[in-house]
Amino acid sequence: MSFTRKARARAMQGGGTYEEIAPAIDSCLLCGACETACPEGIELAELNIHQRQELNRQRTTYPRWYPADSNGMIDSGRRPDEQTLLLAGGLLGSKQALCLSLLEQLGTAGKTALARDDGQDIAKIMEAGLPLSPERVERFVSSLRSARTLIVAEGLLHRPLRAWLPGTKILGPGEALLSDASLRLLLRPEDLYIIEGRGYHTDHRRLAGFYHRLRHETGCYTNLDLQRTAFSTGAASLQGRNNIAAAGCIENAKRILKGKKAGRVVVEDLADSEAFRLATDLPVIHIAQLRRGKLSYED
């Protein structure tokens, strides 16, 4: 109980220090589910990062899963002219075949391209609550200004990108792909469709409606509960990337599977696929592997 979001708030109200609640702050996977569940509508996702920032001001030793390089200087490259850019992120960005498959399905007359700078280093620094370099943020944002739509795999970047680029449409890969009716037809009633939680919770009201229609249309299962909160494996978190078992991600995947007669798992976030592969013998595919006319299980 002392690790819950409510307990952390109570501890601070009672005079607790950030150091005293450090284990609870470090255990938070920043999935954003507590924000949508909060009856007072408090913006807990930002407060969770704020607590991590405050804790960093006081402590001298960091957990093993903290990013090694907090400067994150990556060349943002030239400004692309494409109207839609895919920001693939760390794990998806390392899988060229999956990125190409996504681009092929998203592409409208060659107007969708892979962003050369996906801001993954910025996401890691934000998640760890470490100080961000304004110059680095400016380079990242400048490289995206010419795009009208950004398809962003890293859900943690959705909220800041909406603030930094207010006129730009920010979508997750799942919404971007499944807005196409011919791709929705590839989902089956026995599919367990795993929504990427961090991006989903930052635009909860709108996306709850989108996924409600998806469930109604395809009959598939999802990782949403009755409050339309997405139960996350946490595999995309820094802790999950460091040690998927120790962060509880496999157990979370088993909890999501429980009671569902699923025949296949379809994940929006590639990080979730590893948690489900370790939790079940069912086939696990990424949405980029849902192909018109054929199903591809290869990477």
Look-up: residue for tokens 């890691």? 124
Closest chain position to ligand SF4 (CB): 34
Q: Nearest to residue 33, comparing CAs of 262, 208, 168?
A: 208
* Selected range binding ligand SF4 among 31-39, 124-132, 210-218, 280-288, rule: CB under 6 A: 31-39
Q: Which of 127/268 has CB closer to ligand SF4?
A: 127
Q: Which of 30/249 has CB closer to ligand SF4?
A: 30
**Residue 31 within binding range of ligand SF4, rule CB under 6 A:** yes
CB of 30 to ligand SF4, least distance (A): 5
Q: Nearest to residue 192, comparing CAs of 102, 280, 104, 105?
A: 280
Q: Nearest to residue 85, comparing CAs of 180, 181, 184, 157?
A: 157
Site for ligand SF4 in 170-229 (CB under 6 A): none
* Selected range binding ligand SF4 among 23-31, 87-95, 110-118, 210-218, rule: CB under 6 A: 23-31
CB of 271 to ligand SF4, least distance (A): 15
Q: Which of 51/101 has CB closer to ligand SF4?
A: 51
Q: Which of 43/180 has CB closer to ligand SF4?
A: 43
CB of 113 to ligand SF4, least distance (A): 32
Considering only 18, 25, 32, 172, the residue that binds ligand SF4 (CB under 6 A) is 32
CA 48 from centre of chain: 16
**Residue 33 within binding range of ligand SF4, rule CB under 6 A:** yes
Q: Nearest to residue 151, comparing CAs of 168, 173, 166, 133?
A: 173
Signed CA dihedral, 78, 79, 84, 89: sign only: positive
Rounded Cα–Cα distance for residues 223 and 221 (Å): 7
Give the count of residues interacting with ligand SF4 (CB under 6 A).
9
Binding mask 43-62 for ligand SF4 (x = CB under 6 A): -----x--------------
Considering only 9, 21, 28, 195, the residue that binds ligand SF4 (CB under 6 A) is 28
Q: Which of 73/245 has CB closer to ligand SF4?
A: 245
CB of 45 to ligand SF4, least distance (A): 6
Per residue, the 3-state secondary structure of 152-206, as one string, reads ECCHHHHHHHHHHCCCCEEECHHHHHHCCHHHHCCCCCCEEEECCHHHHHHCHHH
Strand partners, 67: none
Rounded Cα–Cα distance for residues 88 and 190 (Å): 28
**Residue 256 within binding range of ligand SF4, rule CB under 6 A:** no
Strands of the sheet with 264-267, listed across from one edge: 221-222, 191-194, 264-267, 284-286
**Residue 233 within binding range of ligand SF4, rule CB under 6 A:** no
Binding residues (CB under 6 A) for ligand SF4: these are 5, 28-34, 48
